[in-house]
Structure 1
């Protein structure tokens, strides 16, 4: 592949002046450990979930849509164990006492003087945590899609005969019953046959998110995902080196143009008198230095192209799986927000 002479050339086709293009990857990599890959096995993100509850006796399937603000969901993928943990936290809302002003406030204070002495509580409100654990033993990843905003949409099928159960943990004193949308869906008499999980775009590169999901479900190897991480780090280094070398090349000159100037300088040095050679000797040294800079820059460009080919090969692992997982469209059909999938048709 021919090298591009554009001075703005950078790794993976990103333009050098745009420092924000790769900022999400850079910020994420800065918080990672060096090879050893501690912490690489986990991915935690907020999520929306649509659960498909199987109909019985000819009844239609029912769809339950869990999302904020009614349902605060977090999902954690542990690729080292193949476990997926869905956690929902439902907090009890407390009503503040009515706020009075003027004569009404004076009358209220006189009627109950002790209210003014009570300091507002700094403790978190009581809450109920519901945890659902999935694994390769009770579910399978059927489809993985990238949406227009780089969010990821997972379609998961629950294995036949498997009924999902929940762990509940109460924090603080709760008077009465605290409704958990997730627990309510699991307590249906009919079983959950499938679900869709939406992972919104975040500070984590979507390709890395997709790779972690595939490793968790056993669709991609840990080695392939680690190679992807190393490629990301090497790409960042290529971008930096190309940007720095581009700054040293005056006027975006190419190697061919400099070689023409070098031949002219050599010709002048051979034919001019000794007293007139000093100026051209300085020009010749400058030209040789600029050629060395361009050659070094071009080496980084070649490295970027090599990384791009390796990266595309890894993306084929994701893409081939996604394109192969056709069908199972039932979850993305339906009517209102409680009876439809997350994907826009």
Structure 2
């Protein structure tokens, strides 16, 4: 969540100059992955059993600072407008062999994408979008932290782009569907054991019907959403109890999908048992039930409406 600071405390460009200099020096000296100034570059995937591999490198420590600062809009303005931080971050991602460095770099980009004007700039950077796509499409990439931050970047773009021009809709459609990138979020929903990655994938798929998608890709989008709906229902069948936040995310997504009409009635019918099980899981909460009960009421109404349509 973004926050602001008082006018008399607004930062100046010189306040981040040292931070940027540290990063640029590491890039220039080809020491992005160096543990410190005197040691060799370290790949965290090497099997040397060195505990230092688990420590944050100087670049990673600097990225932690940038991550925190880019949550403040005034600092985000300086980093983007004065320092072109997204291009520096892109360079780091392409140079590093450390997943921790990738995670922090992507986290910075995800923070920047929380601000509509920054989201527009990031969205127009084709090199950046291509790198994000490569990271998410890499089937050998099993680092959930990296995948989560890359997914969060996409979620934040979808939520915070101020409007979609026709040209932006085409770019977005090609980005998500030309190589079926969207199928990766289906994969996460089906397979991840990490609640954060599951949650962010739900949010992305929930946002898809709410934005303009090129007609050429509408069928691909629909098939992926239906596949995800079935995967969610399968997951509901094996859940013993469910976190409140995750329950709300799931039922909100299903309600949104019902509204779009994308889910065929026979698919809904085949999953009635799972849907009613989700409802019962929601009723298990004993406190602060108003929000959940309201969601369940909407949920029930949509199921009943679906049944009525089947009879017609």
Q: TM-score range by the shorter chain?
A: under 0.3
Q: Give the greater-gyration-radius structure (CA).
A: 1
**Larger RCO (CA under 8 A, 6+ residues apart):** 1
Structure with the higher fraction of residues in helix conformation:
2
Q: Could you tell me the TM-score, scaled by structure 2's length?
A: 0.22
Q: Could you tell me the TM-score, scaled by structure 1's length?
A: 0.20
